[in-house]
Chain A
Amino acid sequence: MQKLRTVIVDDEPLSLDLLRAVLSEISDIEIVGECCNGKEAVEAAINLQPELLFLDIQMPGMNGFDVIKSLQTDIMPMVVFITAFDQYAVDAFDLHAVDYVLKPLDSERIARSVDRAVDRLKNDVDRSFKSPLIGAIEEISERASKEEQIEYVDSNLPDGMKRKLLVRDSGVVKVIPFDDIDWVDAAGDYMCVHAVGETHVIRSTLRDLMGKLDDNLFVRIHRSTIVNVERVVSVTPLQKGGSLLHLTQGESLKVSRNYRDSIRKFFN
């Protein structure tokens, strides 16, 4: 069978060496990229389109969780988290059936993770990999701050508040005007709202949010992704009819072939 295209991410060079050495002994794996921080990991996920990501959680700058939040649901690879020690995290991963391995890395445990990934790729046709990951991340941050909820602004609120989103983020309620939203992607029961360089995770559905957002501004570009067209800086066509949108904050989003017409309308 075909090998799993894999990217490995760890900020410690020795840890990356070990991961590479262990994975190179597994025949199902082809390592297509190595990254030593979160930013590189996001770029590699977009450019290399791997099927599997081994991702260290504790990293400088953008940590493993930030990487997951900022990746588009539609291109999310399968992820195996790597962590040295975090009891809460391990519980949360178990709860949401997210795979994780503990340091020091154990060859047998990693081989089992790879087997599991191979199985999922065969059986999971809808590729909803991001949902359990976000679920686990939310679980962990809820345990850390105990209070992380989202409230939509109800339609019976004053008009001035209607076009705004309230996000409770570690005890502080943030007001995000709809116009500030760069792009949104849905991951099962969760939505990742990307606004002004930050990602807010809320519990809602894409359909619910789409009903509130301005049709002339927000366009669906993939099954689970909508984008604010005013944030698009450039478009790169891809093979097989898809394309890549580059946004003002530096992110890149993939447009699927099925939705290319909706974008074309704006740029023609």
Chain B
Amino acid sequence: MSGSVYHPLLEMLYRNTNVQFWLLQIVGWFGLSLISFLSLTLWYDQQETAYIAHTLLQSALGVIVSWPLRSLFRYFWNDILIFRISSALAGIIGCSLIWTILRISTFMSMTGEQDVWSDFGGWLFGSILIFLCWVAFYHFVKYYQLLQNKHQALLELASDTQQEQLKRLQAETIAHEAQLKMLRYQLNPHFLFNTLNAISALVKVKESSKAHEMIVQLSKFLRYSLDNDPIHKVSLRQEIEAVTQYLNIERTRFGKRLRLHFDVPSHCKSIDVPSLILQPLAENAIKYGIAPAEAGGQISILASTEGAYLIIDVIDTGPGLNVAKNPIKSAGIGLKNTDERLREFYNDDYEFRLDNTPDGGLCARVKVPSHL
């Protein structure tokens, strides 16, 4: 529809119903005066200026007299039918009377003809027919517009639905890619083989209960990674449990070199967060904060709320980062993935930042809305 509208004036005519109304008023009424000139004026051979002028004047009067009808119909538009019909009839009769009186009195004074009032009935009959036509045409236009609008709305709805479907499909594709990436990330060959090596060591030195415990932890952690769709959210409690399993496995490997500290208040635990959002941060802390340090270090996971936001900090005691670089851009695939996933979930209503702590370590902070 809007595709066929190419001129700004047409565009305005198409959109603005006031302009449409007044244009139809003028065309209609002066079209009527043309008909009246071609029939009555010529038929009765009244070609003096006064008669022609009166023809034009009565059209102008028609424009003015019919004007209030528009307000009348608008006022009763949503009322029950009986009110609308009776108001329309009253409007027609009232306007016809007024218009007829105005026409006759101006006709008499302009042409000097006498005793036109005796023909009042005939003049009124014509008036009523014209106003009936006016009202009919008004309603026709009005309902035509309504139909067009509905049609347009339906088309828009259909295209919206299509767009939405497309968007949803795209989002699903991204989510599935994220899941694949996440799996490949979690099944980090270093982590997996080193863990299997540690389990093998526990079996070899006959620490069977520790070996059992570690196998259970590894299984739970892998199951959590496999079961959880990354497009869904889980409670922070579940996330903390999964990351604890991961860190306990690492602690068995690193021994005394890895110290853990958790501070997650219970009111934070029921807040929902994207699943598998903490593990990459913990893995990053292990990789850069613990593994390269001969004396090892500590990983702290702290949660708190600030207004309508949940804040999770993953802090290590490693060497921190080079502030000259954009930390997230130059970070590994794990942290970039975290940033992408948070954007998918929260658009721009989140914060993900890496900062050096005063003690020289690194603090990875995730701040997300707590109510969603």
Q: Which residues of A contact B (CB under 8 A)?
A: 11-15, 17-18, 21-22, 37, 39, 58, 60-61, 84-85, 102-105
Q: Which residue of B lies closest to A102 (CB)?
A: B193
- Please indicate the chain A residues that have their CB under 8 angstroms from the CB of B190 in the complex: 58, 84-85
Contact B198 A14 (CB under 8 A): yes
Residues of B within 8 A of A (CB): 189-190, 193-194, 196-202, 204-205, 252-255, 257, 291-294
Partner of A22, one of B199, B204, B255, B293: B204
Which residues of the other chain, A, contact B204 by a CB distance below 8 angstroms? 17-18, 21-22
B294 to chain A: which residues have CB within 8 Å? 11, 37, 39, 60-61
A62: min CB distance to chain B, Å: 9
**Hey, which chain B residues are within 8 Å of A37, CB to CB?**
294
In the bound complex, residues from chain A placing their C-beta under 8 Å from that of B193 are 84-85, 102-104
Residue from the list A12, A22, A58, A85 in contact with B198, Cβ < 8 A = A12
Q: Which residues of B contact A61 (CB under 8 A)?
A: 292-294
State how many angstroms separate the Cβ of B332 from the closest Cβ of chain A: 15
Summarize A's interface: helix, strand, loop or mixed: loop
How many A-B contacts at CB < 8 Å in the complex? 65
Q: Which of A14, A60, A105 has the most CB of B within 10 A?
A: A14
Tell me whether B293 and A84 are in contact (CB under 8 A).
no
Chain B residues, Cβ within 8 Å of A85: 189-190, 193
CB contacts (< 8 Å) of B253 on chain A: these are 12, 14-15
Q: For the complex, what is the distance from the CA of A37 to the CA of B291, rounded to whole Å? A: 11
Who on chain A is nearest to B193 by CB? A84
A residues within 8 A CB of B200? 18, 104-105
Q: Which 3 A-B pairs have the closest CB atoms?
A: A18-B201, A85-B189, A103-B197
Give 13 new A-B contacts, CB below 8 A, not counting A18-B205, A105-B197: A12-B194, A13-B255, A14-B198, A14-B255, A15-B197, A21-B201, A22-B204, A37-B294, A39-B294, A58-B190, A60-B292, A84-B194, A102-B193
| Complex alpha-carbon distance, A17 and B254, angstroms | 13
Q: How far is the CA of A14 from the CA of B194 in the complex (A)?
A: 10
